[in-house]
Structure 1
Amino acid sequence: MDGQKIIIRKAIEADSDQLWVLMKDLAVFEHYLDDFAITPEIVRESGFRKDPPDFYCLVAENGGEIAGMLVYYFLPYTARNRPAIFLKELFVAESHRSQKIGEMLMKALYKEARENNCCQIKWTVAPWNEAGKAFYERLGASENRDWLNYEWAVD
């Protein structure tokens, strides 16, 4: 760590270019760069100019640089008659790993869920991502094997 204090905060429109870089890096890490169609302008428009936005985002800032991001959205209607949060993306830049930034972002998301009366936080993890699975289990999360994920591509 370079001595800077890491700040967890909600993303703002001015973060869009740095967020896009992290989103692209995540696409490389998760092997879907060929399908990656996001641009910095799409991040600005979808996350900050639309009302309501298509997504919400928490960032970890380290010395003015966005070191990590957590993208999420709300599932307003659930069987429990309380909203849930769906964690879409969690990514920490390689140069900022091993500083507990992922844990800080997850704790901030947990706080956001509580503040919004959410009943749970849901997400998916690639089956090959052993480090990711171990990380979530260290936080106290458990794998839900009650449901299988399906996709139906729309051309």
Structure 2
Amino acid sequence: MNIQIRRAVKEDCARLLELIQELADYEKAPEEVTVTLAHFEDSGFGPNPVWWAFVAEIDGKVEGFALYYIRYSTWKGQCLYLEDFLVTEKLRGKGAGKLLFDRVMEEAKEKGFKRMVWQVLDWNEPAINFYKKYNATLDPAWLNGILDF
């Protein structure tokens, strides 16, 4: 299986939204995806992009992605925040996730960021086990604060 990791381009956005919906379904929150394709495209490829992504492609089809943005820590400076990371079920266990995650880590290091941050649901054992392979710290002390407008 020949897995290609590359930067996402605007033409990937419709497929990325399909995968984002797949992730929301898996996380038991299918109704939470409300972003429009136009807003998503503009946010990543408009005049002031706020997110970037890498995709895993096989035979010309995007089967995984890692979407990130820059977050600022008053303690550490700029950090890479991995917002979403998904590999389709048919690709799981075939190395695509490792290739994507490694590419995002490389990006953070290239940009001189001091850390990479993400969230994982406490019941998502496959993801938790994946991150543990990297000796990642999973911090249970922090609670998420959210205000919807």
TM range (shorter): over 0.9
Shift of 1:35: 1.7
Distance 1:42 1:100 in 2: 31
Q: Report whether the alignment pairs 1:148 with 2:117.
A: no
Q: How does 1:120-135 map to 2 (within 5 A)?
A: 120-135=115-130
Distance 2:74 2:100 in 1: 24
Gaps of 5+ in 1: none
Distance 1:86 1:22 in 2: 19
Distance 1:57 1:116 in 2: 15
Query: Which position in structure 2 is the counterpart of 1:66?
Result: 62
Query: Taking structure 2 as the reference length, what is the TM-score of the superposition?
Result: 0.92
Query: Taking structure 1 as the reference length, what is the TM-score of the superposition?
Result: 0.89
Distance 1:34 1:14 in 2: 24
Q: Secondary structure at the match of 1:83?
A: strand
Shift of 1:105: 0.6
Gaps of 5+ in 2: none
Match of 1:101 among 96, 100, 110: 96
- Residues 1:150 and 1:97: Cα distance change in structure 2 (over 3 Å): closer
- Residues 1:32 and 1:50: Cα distance change in structure 2 (over 3 Å): farther
- Residues 1:130 and 1:118: Cα distance change in structure 2 (over 3 Å): same
1:19-71 Cα offsets, whole Å, 9 max, x none, are: 111011011011111121023323211111242x1211110111110010001
Code of the residue aligned with 2:8 in structure 1: it is A
Shift of 1:83: 1.3
Over the aligned positions, Cα root-mean-square deviation in angstroms equals 1.5
Aligned length: 149
Match of 2:19 among 11, 22, 26: 22
Q: Following superposition, which runs of at least 4 residues in structure 1 exceed 3 angstroms of deviation?
A: none
Match of 1:7 among 4, 9, 16: 4
Shift of 1:77: 4.7
- Residues 1:116 and 1:6: Cα distance change in structure 2 (over 3 Å): same
Q: Secondary structure at the match of 2:138?
A: coil
